[in-house]
Every structure is written in C-alpha cells, then in structure tokens.
Amino acid sequence: MSVFASMESEVRSYSRAWPTVFTTAHGAELHDEHGRTYLDFFAGAGALNYGHNPPELKATLLEYLTGDGITHGLDMHTAAKGAFLERLRDLVLLPRGMDHRVQFPGPGGTNAVEAALKLARKVTGRRAVGYFERGFHGMTLGALAVTANAAKRAGAGVPLPHAVPVPFDDPALDAEQSVSRLVRSLEAAAADAPLAAVVVETVQGEGGVNPARPAWLRALASWTREHGALLVADDIQMGCGRTGPFFSFETAGIVPDIICLSKSISGYGTPMALTLMRPAYDVWRPGEHNGTFRGYNPAFVTATRALEVFWSDSALQARTTALGERVGRALARTARRHGLGAPRGRGLVWGLPFDRPGAAREVCDAAFRAGLLLETAGPGDEVVKLLPPLTVADGQVERGLAILDEAVAAVVGERALVA
Ligand SMILES: Cc1ncc(COP(=O)(O)O)c(C=O)c1O
C-alpha cells in the first residue's frame, strides 16, 4: 500500500473508501491481493453496466488485439469505428426513431459535456446554460460550471460564468406545483440572458439518486423548444440501460436535442464518449473541436459487441426493470425497519437517504468490511447509492441487500429502536 500513500496525489478518493489493492474481477465481483472477494454494487461508477470482463466482449477484444487491429485512430475512418456506427444506428437510433449524428469527443464523460455546451452555444449564439441544483456533469471548467456541488466548484479556482442553477423536480411537491416552479425558474433565469441550453440528468446520480418525473421532463422539453434553447440530456451515468431502457429519457417520451453518453457505452470499462446531436445542429466546422484520444478503437470493438449482445432484444431492459422493482421493495423494507426515509430509484440505480450527517459513509464502511462495495452520493454524502452491474445474478443481489441491511442496522439500528 505504501507506494500509493507515498507517490499518488492527495486527490485520490475511492481508494480511501476501499483501502485494499484489487487484482482481478469478473461479473459483479472483485478480488484483492489477499484473496478476498467483494461484491460490486458500484460498477465503476456506472462504467461497468455489463459487469467486469464480460466474456463475449473479452473474446472479441482479445481477437481484435491479437489481430493487430488499429488501437489509436484520432478521428480517422477505421473498420472498428464503422462497425460501431452501423450497430448504433441499427440497434439504438433507428428503432427509437432517432437520426442524431455522432461526435466522438475525448474519452471521458466530461469531454462529451464540453462538446455539448460548446455546440449549443454555437448553434444558438447564446451564452447562458441552465442546469439543475444537485446536478453533476464533470470536472473540466465548462462541465464544472453546470455542476452544482459546491466543493467541486470551489476547486475551479476561477469564476464559472454563464451558467444558471434551477431547482430540480421535487417529489415533496405535487407534479403540477413542481412543473410550475420549473417554468417560473427557467423564465427568471432566461430573463437575465436567453438560454443556449438546459442540461439535465433524468435521474441525478452523483446528486443523490433523484429521479425526475416524466411529466416534469416533458415540461422541460416543451419549455426549451418554445424558448429556442437546446435540451441536453446527460445520460452518462443513467444511459446504456441503467434505468431500464437504453436511454433513460425514453420513458418520458422525449427526444433531447443533444445527448451525452460515456461510462458504459464501451461496455468494458474502455474509455469512450459520444455527443449525439440532431442533424440540424451539427454546425461544427471540421476540426473545430478535437482531441488526441477520440478514437480508442478497442473501445469501439467492445461497444459494438455490447450493443449486439445486450441490445438486440428487450431481455436486458425487462430484467433490469423487474429486478429494480424487487430491489426497491427490499430497500423500502430496510428503510421501514430502521426508520429511514423512503428509497429513491429507477431500474438498477437506487439511493437510500440518511438524515444524520456521516451515517451513509459509516454504512458504506461497514458494508466494505463485510465484502460489499457501495458508495455515497448527494451534496452532503447523505445517500447510500446502489449501482450493481445490470448483469448481477439474483443471488448476488439478495446477498448484497442482506449485507446492506446489516450494515444499516449496525449504524442506525439502535437509534431507530429508541425513536
Ligand atoms: C451524469 C454525469 N455526467 C458527467 C460525468 C463525468 O464523467 P467523467 O468522470 O467520465 O468525466 C459523470 C461522472 O460521474 C456523471 O455521472
């Protein structure tokens, strides 16, 4: 461990939550150097929706590497990229009536968001962008400007202008009240400067697992359309089936103008991101936005195979939805037993909120000691977030939920009994 403490920057964070050295992983399990096995309810922060080293993707990747396939390709045409584009068109876009064009920005989620913001400003000739309280979109300056977390914003060291926070959907309000508050807030934001775009997560992930209601999302889509602002869906964490359907906004029946994808799009943890745009908004000049690592071809190969294996039919979506409902019911039982607030979630992303500061962190620590990886979310780290791979086995889900229940009992059990 000492090499990490002596050499790696203080900025490291997940390694502090999980102080061990991981060596191998398969499916929903990781192993450490002491031969200990951990059940993974974190899934690479949503980058491993199909689990660690999914066998079909591994076989395809190994074959590609052994055959000296192109590895680094900038934005050159390659066979691997062509195959990916065809599968994306045929298995994802066309079946959903979408004809969005595809930009390959740099490899991280934040790169997809930077491209989206620049494009929306170029299309509209406007500067200001609306974003939501508790929203998270990345760490580069443009994406950070539309990220709500105060500690992360403070890290910028410079002002983060041309970005206006707006309240997110609030389940404590009835749907109509929440929609009218949204419209009022957007009107107020746009009164200062017309908005180029509004960027939204349909379920806020880092912000504490906050699902927006479909009617609220539809109201947001209508407002942007009526006011000449582009609707940017950041589906970086909630896309690729996390909430059930391939895109998280499908259940609301909306089609955003720009869509950001990353994390699980490559299916293998191989870095890759996409910014999808309606054809009318593809106003880039050649090379106007570029980057060295926009064409990591091994990621295209695993991404193509992932679409073929998991998105040629609706089986994964159906299982995610059914399993997610069971997880939600189990978490509701845990919440009732220990006197917690109601769990929130959709598909296979769930959040369990705690009111005592520090309690969610203690639960994650207790879960780690019992062999379960779980992380906190929310502005005060007040939520335990569950993000298992979508391919997790039923038995693993039950085991993870049992460990979580025991961890909650250890941290808040007595308090709940007294209350
Ligand atoms: C919704 C959302 N957008 C953007 C990002 C940033 O992605 P990356 O960390 O790959 O830059 C994240 C990362 O967690 C995210 O959850």
Distance 411 CA to ligand 1 centre (A): 30
Structure confidence at residue 417 (pLDDT):
52
Same-domain pairing of 215 and 239: yes
Report the distance separating Cα 358 and Cα 28, nearest Å: 27
Domain check: are 35 and 175 in the same one? no
- Specify whether 256 is located in the same domain as 355: no
Which residues have C-beta atoms less than 6 Å from ligand 1? 45, 108-110, 113, 136-138, 201, 205-206, 234, 236-237, 262
Which one of 269, 288, 311 terminates a domain?
A: 311
Length of the chain: 419
- Among 290, 311, 332, the domain-final residue is 311
Q: Do 266 and 358 share a structural domain?
A: no
- pLDDT in the model for residue 307: 99
Structural domain for 47, as ranges: 2-54+315-418
Res 414: pLDDT: 54
DSSP state of 89: I
Q: What ligand 1 atom has the least distance to the C-alpha of 238?
A: 1
User: Whose CA is closest to atom 2 on ligand 1?
Assistant: 137
Q: Both 105 and 128 in a single domain?
A: yes
CA 219 to chain centre: 22
pLDDT below 70 — which residues of the chain?
1, 414-419
CA of 409 to the centre of ligand 1 (A): 32
CATH number, residue 260: 3.40.640.10
- 333 CA from centroid of ligand 1 (Å): 31
Instruction: Give the model's pLDDT for residue 340.
Output: 97
Ligand 1 atom nearest 143 alpha carbon: 4
Q: Which atom of ligand 1 is nearest to the CA of 135?
A: 1
What's at 225, amino acid-wise? R
Beta strands (DSSP E) in 269-314 are: 274-277
Q: How far apart are CA 222 and CA 25, in angstroms?
A: 44
Asked whether residue 250 falls in the same domain as residue 329, the answer is no
CA of 378 to the centre of ligand 1 (A): 14
- DSSP per residue over 11-77, as a string? T--HHHHS-S-EEEEEBTEEEETTS-EEEESSHHHHT-TT-BS-HHHHHHHHHHHHTT---B-TT--
In ligand 1, the atom with minimum distance to the C-alpha of 263 is: 10
- 71 CB-near residues (< 8 Å, 6+ apart): 65, 296, 297, 298
Measured CA distances, 36 to 22, 109, 232 (Å): 9, 31, 42
Neighbour-count burial for 91-124, b at 16+ CB within 10 Å, e otherwise: bbbeeeeeebebbbbbbbbbbbbbbbbbbbbbbb
Expressed in angstroms and rounded, the spacing between residue 65 Cα and the centre of ligand 1 is: 28
Which residue lies with its CA nearest to atom 4 of ligand 1?
A: 137
Q: What is the pLDDT of residue 336?
A: 96
Nearest to 98 by CA among 310, 255, 258: 255
For residue 394, give the CATH number of its domain.
3.90.1150.10
> How much is the pLDDT for 192?
85
Domain end marker among 311, 339, 357: 311
Do 6 and 124 belong to one domain?
A: no
Specify whether 166 is located in the same domain as 200. Answer: yes
Q: Residue 58 is encoded by which pair of tokens?
A: 């591994």
Of all protein residues, the one whose alpha carbon is nearest to atom 3 of ligand 1 is: 137
Cβ contact 407:44 at 8 Å: no
Pocket residue to mutate for ligand 1, from 137, 201, 203, 210, most atoms within 8 A of Cβ:
137
Atom of ligand 1 nearest to the CA of 107: 10
Q: Residue 66: what pLDDT?
A: 98
Same domain flag for 244 and 368 = no
Quote the ligand 1 centre to 262 CA distance (angstroms): 8
Q: Do 178 and 274 lie in a common domain?
A: yes
Same domain, 95 and 28: no
Same domain for 285 and 145 = yes
Domains: count for the chain: 2
